[in-house]
C-alpha cells in the first residue's frame, strides 16, 4: 500500500494585480484541477511584479531629486546675478554658464525618461505574461517560470554572467531582474574588497526608505570604517571620524558606540574576546549579508531565493515518517538518500487527510474502489484484485511477495 500525503495548512497568499486572474476566469472550460493549480501559481508572483515596480519608483524619485536640486541652484544663481552689480559682460557670462547647466539638466532628464520608459515597459510585459497564463499553456508557462527562478538563484549567488546568458537564450530578459542585481553587484564586490564607499553611497541614495524601515546598515558601515582606522593605528583620525560620523548615532545605539570606542585602548591583534571579534575578517562577510537583506527588503524580495523556497515547500509537503522506512516505495522522491538529506531539517507535512493509492493500478482507493486485504497483510484495490481474479480463474498472487490465495480469502477494509 502506498500513502500519498496531502499537506494541510493555509495556502500562500500575497497581493497581486486583480487583472492577472482574468486568465483563470477565461479558462473556465478547462479541468478544474488545472485551474486550481494556475490560480495558486499566480498567488506566488508577488515578487515578480513588486521588484520592477519598486525599481520604477526609485528611478522617478531620483530624477525628481535631480530636477529639484538643479532648478533650485539655477534660480538661486539668477537671483544672485540680479542682485549683484556685475558688468554687462560678466552678467552675460554668468547667464551663459547657467544656460549650459540647464542644457546638461535636459540631457539628464532625457536619459532618465528613457530609463523610466524601459522600466514601465518591463512592468507591462510582466503583467501581460501573467495575463497570458491559462490552463492550455500551463506547461509552457511553468517552464518559463522555472527559468525565472533559476536566474533569480544565480543572481543571488553572484553568477551574473551565467544568469544573463540563460535569460538571453530563453528570451526572458523582461521577466528577470538583472539590472537591479547589477546595482547590488558593485556594492558586494566593494565590501568583499573591504571598501565601504559604494555601500555608503547606496545608503545615501536610499536614505529615506532605510530610515523608514529603521535600518542600522549605515551605522554598521560607519563602525567598520572606525575599526579599520584603529587597526591601522590612526587613533587621531579615528577620534575625528567618531565625532563626525558616530556621535549622531549615539542616542540610538549608545552601547555599540561605547564598545567600539573602547577599541582605541586595544590593538588590532588583541586577544580580549569582547574586542577581538570586532577586528575579525568575518565582520566584512556579515556586512555583505546585511546588505543583501537590506537590498531585498528595499525591493520587496524574499530573503531566501525562490529556488530554495520552492524546494523546501515541496520537500516538506512530501515528508512523512513513512518516507524514512525501509519499505518506502521507490516512486517517493524521499526514498532517495540525497532528497532525505535535503529534507532532514524541514518539518513533516501537516496532514489533515491521506490518500490510499493502489500499488498495482495507481488508482485511488475510496468507497467506490475500496481496499482489499490479502492474508499476508498487503492491501490492494478492489478493481485490481477483481481484474487479477478474472484472468487467473479466481486466484490472486501478491505482486510483492508472490503469495497465492483465492479471491474469496480477501477481506474488505474500511476507510474511516
Residue that finishes a domain, picked among 281, 299, 317: 299
Phi, psi of 235 (to 5 degrees): -65, -40
- Domain annotation covers residue 194: yes
- Helices 306-318 and 138-156 meet at what angle, rounded to 10? 120
Domain shared by 193 and 128, yes or no:
no
**Gap between the Cα atoms of 16 and 40, Å rounded:** 12
pLDDT higher than 80, residue 9: no
Domain that holds residue 94: 45-132
pLDDT tier, 23 (very low <50, low <70, confident <90, very high otherwise): very low
- Domain annotation covers residue 83: yes
pLDDT tier, 362 (very low <50, low <70, confident <90, very high otherwise): confident
Residue range 72-129, pLDDT digits in tens: 888 888 887 777 777 778 778 888 888 888 888 888 888 888 888 988 998 899 889 8
- Domain annotation covers residue 17: no
- Domain annotation covers residue 284: yes
pLDDT higher than 70, residue 8: no
| pLDDT confidence of residue 352 | 58
Average pLDDT along the chain: 84
Residue range 289-325, pLDDT digits in tens: 999 999 999 988 888 888 998 888 888 888 888 788 8
pTM for this prediction: 0.67
**Gap between the Cα atoms of 45 and 23, Å rounded:** 14
**Gap between the Cα atoms of 219 and 73, Å rounded:** 31
Within 10 angstroms of residue 377's Cβ, the number of other Cβ atoms is 10
| pLDDT confidence of residue 69 | 85
Domain shared by 196 and 288, yes or no:
yes
Residue that finishes a domain, picked among 299, 327, 343: 299
Domain shared by 127 and 192, yes or no:
no
Q: Compute the C-alpha angle 272/275/276, nearest 5°.
A: 70
Mean pLDDT of 196-202: 94
**Gap between the Cα atoms of 95 and 99, Å rounded:** 6
Please count the structural domains in the chain. Answer: 3
- Domain annotation covers residue 163: no
Amino acid at each position: 500500500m502506498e500513502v500519498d500525503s496531502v499537506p494541510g495548512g493555509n495556502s500562500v497568499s500575497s497581493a497581486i494585480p486583480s487583472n492577472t486572474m482574468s486568465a483563470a476566469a477565461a479558462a473556465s472550460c478547462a479541468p478544474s484541477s488545472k485551474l486550481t493549480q494556475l490560480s495558486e501559481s499566480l498567488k506566488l508572483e508577488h515578487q515578480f511584479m513588486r521588484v520592477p515596480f519598486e525599481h520604477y519608483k526609485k528611478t522617478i524619485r531620483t530624477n525628481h531629486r535631480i530636477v529639484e536640486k538643479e532648478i533650485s541652484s539655477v534660480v538661486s544663481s539668477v537671483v544672485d546675478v540680479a542682485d549683484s552689480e556685475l558688468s554687462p559682460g560678466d552678467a552675460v557670462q554668468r547667464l551663459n554658464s547657467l544656460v549650459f547647466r540647464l542644457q546638461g539638466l535636459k540631457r539628464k532628464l532625457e536619459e532618465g525618461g528613457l530609463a523610466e520608459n524601459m522600466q514601465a515597459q518591463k512592468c507591462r510585459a510582466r503583467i501581460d505574461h501573467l495575463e497570458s497564463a491559462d490552463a492550455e499553456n500551463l506547461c509552457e508557462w511553468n517552464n518559463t517560470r522555472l527559468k525565472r527562478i533559476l536566474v533569480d538563484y544565480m543572481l543571488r549567488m553572484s553568477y551574473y554572467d551565467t544568469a544573463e546568458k540563460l535569460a538571453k537564450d530563453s528570451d526572458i530578459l523582461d521577466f528577470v531582474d538583472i539590472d537591479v542585481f547589477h546595482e547590488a553587484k558593485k556594492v558586494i564586490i566593494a565590501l568583499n574588497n573591504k571598501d565601504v564607499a559604494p555601500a555608503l553611497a547606496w545608503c545615501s541614495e536610499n536614505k529615506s526608505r532605510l530610515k523608514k524601515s529603521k535600518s542600522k546598515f549605515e551605522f554598521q558601515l560607519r563602525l567598520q570604517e572606525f575599526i579599520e582606522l584603529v587597526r591601522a593605528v590612526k587613533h587621531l583620525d579615528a577620534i575625528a571620524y567618531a565625532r563626525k560620523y558616530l556621535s549622531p548615532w549615539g542616542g540610538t545605539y549608545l552601547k555599540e558606540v561605547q564598545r567600539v570606542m573602547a577599541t582605541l585602548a586595544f590593538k588590532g591583534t588583541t586577544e580580549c574576546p569582547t574586542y577581538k571579534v570586532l577586528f575579525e575578517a568575518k565582520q566584512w562577510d556579515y556586512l555583505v549579508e546585511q546588505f543583501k537583506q537590506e537590498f531585498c527588503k528595499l525591493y520587496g524580495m524574499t530573503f531566501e531565493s525562490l529556488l530554495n523556497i520552492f524546494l523546501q515547500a515541496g520537500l516538506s509537503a512530501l515528508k512523512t515518517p513513512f518516507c524514512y522506512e525501509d519499505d518506502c516505495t521507490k516512486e517517493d522522491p524521499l526514498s532517495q538518500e540525497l532528497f532525505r538529506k535535503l529534507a532532514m531539517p524541514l518539518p513533516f507535512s501537516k496532514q489533515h487527510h491521506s490518500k490510499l493509492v493502489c500499488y498495482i493500478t495507481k488508482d485511488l482507493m475510496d468507497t467506490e474502489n475500496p481496499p482489499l486485504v490479502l492474508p499476508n497483510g498487503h492491501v490492494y484495490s478492489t478493481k485490481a484484485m477483481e481484474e487479477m481474479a478474472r484472468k487467473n480463474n479466481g486466484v490472486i498472487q501478491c505482486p510483492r511477495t508472490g503469495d497465492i490465495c483465492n479471491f474469496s480469502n480477501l477481506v474488505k477494509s474500511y476507510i474511516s
